Amino acid sequence: MDFLNQFIILVEIDWTLVFLSISLILILISYFILLKDFMTKNENSSLKYEEIGVLSVDVSSSRGKRVGTLNLSFEERIRRDREAFRKLQSEE
């Protein structure tokens, strides 16, 4: 009889509240998983933010065959462009 009373109490529970509670728990778990992924993504990409000023240039041989990639910071690229411009001006 005691088991039957417990079963009746279980059946009389407002299942909409149970469903809402379970849904809220699942939403919170999903939110924390996404937040963790976002935080680890930012940690991994912090080097990329520091290297925003890097310009990649494909280096080719005189025959047109690709040799490799040269990574220059923008400051280095500007310095090299200024040197090349000064050299061109001095030749004229």
Residue ranges for the chain with pLDDT beneath 50: 45-51
Same domain, 28 and 6: yes
The number of folded domains in the chain is 2
Same domain, 34 and 65: no
Is 59:71 a contact under the CB 8 Å cutoff? no
64: left (phi over 0), alpha (psi -120 to 50) or beta: left
pLDDT at 11: 67
Interatomic CA distance for residues 74 and 56, integer angstroms:
10
Same domain, 34 and 61: no
Length of the chain: 92
pLDDT at 63: 73
Same domain, 41 and 67: no
Same domain, 58 and 40: no
Could you give phi then psi for residue 33, rounded to 5 degrees?
-65, -45
Averaged pLDDT score across all residues of the chain: 73
**Residue 42 is part of which domain span?**
2-47
Same domain, 70 and 36: no
Same domain, 6 and 29: yes
pLDDT in tens, 30-55: 998 888 877 776 555 444 444 456 66
Same domain, 62 and 34: no
